[in-house]
Amino acid sequence: MAVVVIDTSTATSPSGLSHQRGLDRTSLDVLWAVFYNGSAYEFWYSTDDGVSWGQDTGATKTPSTALTNGAASLYIDVNNLVHIVWSNRSGSNYYLYYDSGTLNAAHTTITWTTPSELIATASGTPRGEVVAFPRDANTTYVAVAIDSVEAAAGTMVIKIYERTISGLALVQNFVTGFAAGAAGAAMAPSIDFHHTGDGKTISGGTPHIYVVYHTGDTGAGKGIRFRKLVWVGGGWSANTDRGIDESNHADATAGLVSACFDGTRMVMAYRPSGSTSTVKWAERDSGDTTTTARTPTALADGVVQSVSVSYDNLGNGFILASAATSLDPKTVQLTRSSLTWGSWTAIEATTTRSNAATLQRGYSALYVRSLYSRGAGSPYDVVYDRTILAGNTAPSQATWDSPTDNQAADVAETLTLDWTFVDVDPGDSQSAYALRRQIGAASYEYWNAGTSSWGAGETQNTSATTSVTLSASWGADGDGNHKFAVKTWDSGGTVGSYSAELTVIPSGQDNPTISTPADAGTVTTALLTVTWSASTQTAYKAELLNTGATTVHESSGWVTSTATSHVFAYVMTNSTAYKVRITTRNDEGLASDADTNSFTTSFTPPATPTLVVTGGTPTGAIRVAVTNGAGPPATTSVHLYRREGTDSATSIRISLTTGSSPTYDDYAVESGVGYQYQAIGFADSGASATSAWTA
């Protein structure tokens, strides 16, 4: 991808200083950038990894009095809260503010809270860098390293806050002063915490905090320094300040030092004042025991004017720098596995502004992402670039989402093949795919998305879409099985291998035809028997529904059977409209379209039976004599029920008899309890008539 100009700025260093980060990403891989346009801080986002950018004008922050160059640090935490530390000015006074914001569902707008003042000074623009991580579901720790830029007694302050819905509360405060005789120098602090390497997630439940800063060129404790704040459960304890490089360091250029934690160690790059055309690299292990210097390839491009550092998922290190001779932004890589440096490579030939380049903290996908400004005069371009990582991992085999493997699909309908792109590189995405099919034992064919056709040669289809929809007639009933496989290319152009094959059985529907009941016919029985025909049926589903087909009164579910009739147990109501629906599967398992018939019930119930209940029989039983009503239709069976008093909740069936006018002696009764009886007479049609409860 060519570099992209986001916007322009009249500030000479709009994208911040070496130790600050103006670029970060969300969990949806939406990029956010902040820079100073000469009068306000602008916030821009990209949903396509920097190809195009949009501005969230509602997020703009405007200093009370214009600054020569703004200074802001942006961080988006693991819960997608946006954190910003930014410099402000009001008259002759300078301030550093913190604010946090929430993102909308698409991560394309920020809603800020009320900003909090972190520090005020009357001598120069204070600068800071921020990171944040959750304490629990309701609280976020916010850690800020602040360069006070006091002319007489400058200090670097590490402030740790708790952010809740109620606001910001200071938890701990650590202060480091300049070395003796070096007051007024830029301390340029970089801050990070003990994360997994993604720049977002706490590692091992121990959010240690790491800070790299500069304390001047003279006096005891000068040069590049490191301090670890050790998490002790509920708070932090500061280790001793460590000297990383106590040779001279170029404080006059506003602190050309940049550092971050790569998941194992704190890595840092800086320009030493003793050799201003040189970029140095050092590492401090997470245990705070060992400092290791690794000498990068010489930049050899004049006096270094900007430097920023980052890393990838393999622990490889990256430096972005520019120098005064060519003014081109250049990158160089430290390969972790061999501990060797590559060559400096120019992103573009341009006039990069002094101390105005930053890399995204942490890794995502397979790019090192940079933000810098360029141009010989105002207005200056604010530029985004992404550089492919040497440590990029090829995509894994894609996995199939649909259709289901080894199932039949209708050749008369479209067929959508849907897969999931798989890559171990965080945030990586598909840039292209190749789709292969084999019909039976025939030769492979390959899908050409441009012509929507299959051909003999493999085609790399450039697309981030992870599905292909084949039009109707994609196969023929009777074809051999269609076996599909897909392979993908990641966003850097690295190709993976073909997936496991997805087998689709091409098939044509065998739709059933209901014989009885006839559509719009009449059913004269309370229990329905449905019959149908289907030539290749291996299973069926029978459903009895209301006339609007909104309620299923009874469903057989899928029954593996070649039978073409089904009897429902549901007792239908007389003079009522219903629907019956039949769906079948053919001999390849393909479901048919459903056939549905409507019908109305019309049947004559038997006459209502009458009861004579006699108590006090010699046996102690209650005798119930049922007299069936005269037909037609004749009553052919009687169900007899008993309840206690008038309590229907106690009703139970006590007899089921066939024939006419049965008599039943009920022995299961208790003395002193009143009982009532009810008879339901049934005709052969299933129609019924119910007597009144009789005592």
Q: What angle do CA 238, 239, 240 make, to 5 degrees?
A: 120
- Minimal CA–CA distance to 178: which of 212, 124, 216? 216
Residues 6+ apart with CB under 8 A from 523: 517, 572, 578, 599, 600, 601, 602, 603
Interatomic CA distance for residues 395 and 397, integer angstroms: 7
Interatomic CA distance for residues 513 and 673, integer angstroms: 57
Architecture of the domain spanning 610-690: Sandwich (2.60)
| pLDDT score at 181 | 43
Q: Which residues pair with 238 in a beta bridge?
A: 229
Interatomic CA distance for residues 459 and 468, integer angstroms: 14
The residue type found at 582 is I
| pLDDT score at 368 | 80
Q: What angle do CA 102, 103, 104 make, to 5 degrees?
A: 125
CB atoms within 10 A of CB 559: 11
Tokens of 333: 């890589």
Q: Which residues pair with 374 in a beta bridge?
A: 352, 381
Interatomic CA distance for residues 109 and 104, integer angstroms: 6
DSSP 275: G
Region(s) of the chain under CATH 2.120.10.70: 4-388
Beta-strand runs (E) in 421-550: 430-439, 445-448, 453-455, 461-462, 467-470, 482-490, 502-507, 513-516, 521-523, 529-533, 539-546
User: Mean pLDDT in each 10-residue stretch from start to end of the chain (695 residues)?
Assistant: 87 76 91 93 93 96 86 93 92 89 97 92 78 89 78 67 87 70 64 93 95 74 86 92 76 69 95 85 97 95 91 88 91 92 91 78 70 89 81 87 96 97 83 97 97 96 96 95 97 91 97 97 93 96 97 97 96 93 96 97 90 89 91 88 94 85 90 93 85 93
Kind of pairing, strands 595-601 and 521-523? parallel
Residue that is written with structure tokens 């000479």 in the block: 12
Residue that is written with structure tokens 């239709």 in the block: 633
Residues 6+ apart with CB under 8 A from 90: 63, 64, 65
pLDDT digits (tens, 9 = 90+) for 671-695: 889 999 999 998 887 788 899 999 9
Reported as half-sphere exposure (CB side, CA atoms, 13 A), residue 46 has a value of: 22
Query: Where on the phi/psi map is residue 325: left (φ > 0), alpha (ψ -120 to 50), or beta?
Result: alpha
Instruction: Give me the DSSP letters along 586-618.
Output: -TT-PBPPPEEEEEEE--PPPPPPEEEEE---T
Cis peptide before 633 (omega within 30 of 0): yes
DSSP 632: S
Secondary structure (3-state) at 81: coil
| pLDDT score at 150 | 47
SS3 assignment for 614-627? ECCCCCCCEEEEEE
Question: What's the sign of the alpha-carbon dihedral 548, 551, 554, 555?
Answer: positive
| pLDDT score at 314 | 80
Residues 6+ apart with CB under 8 A from 550: none
SS3 assignment for 163-216? EECCEEEEEEEEEEECCCCCCCCCCCCEEEECECCCCCCECCCCCCEEEEEECC
Q: Which fold, 513-601?
A: Immunoglobulin-like (2.60.40)
Q: Which residues pair with 681 in a beta bridge?
A: 638, 689
- Minimal CA–CA distance to 35: which of 269, 370, 427? 370
4-388: CATH number? 2.120.10.70
Tokens of 511: 């739709």
Interatomic CA distance for residues 14 and 11, integer angstroms: 5
Secondary structure (3-state) at 431: strand
Interatomic CA distance for residues 182 and 248, integer angstroms: 11
Phi, psi angles (nearest 5°) of residue 173: -140, 125
Q: 33 burial class (0-12, 13-18, 19+ CB within 10 angstroms)?
A: buried
Region(s) of the chain under CATH 2.60.40.10: 399-507, 513-601, 610-690
Secondary structure (3-state) at 253: helix
Cβ atoms of 49 and 389 closer than 8 Å: no
Residue that is written with structure tokens 């007489």 in the block: 152
CB atoms within 10 A of CB 87: 25
- CATH superfamily for 399-507 is Immunoglobulins (2.60.40.10)
Secondary structure (3-state) at 560: strand
Phi, psi angles (nearest 5°) of residue 235: 175, -175
| pLDDT score at 616 | 80
Residue that is written with structure tokens 């520019």 in the block: 322
pLDDT digits (tens, 9 = 90+) for 286-329: 999 999 999 999 999 999 988 999 998 788 899 999 999 998 99
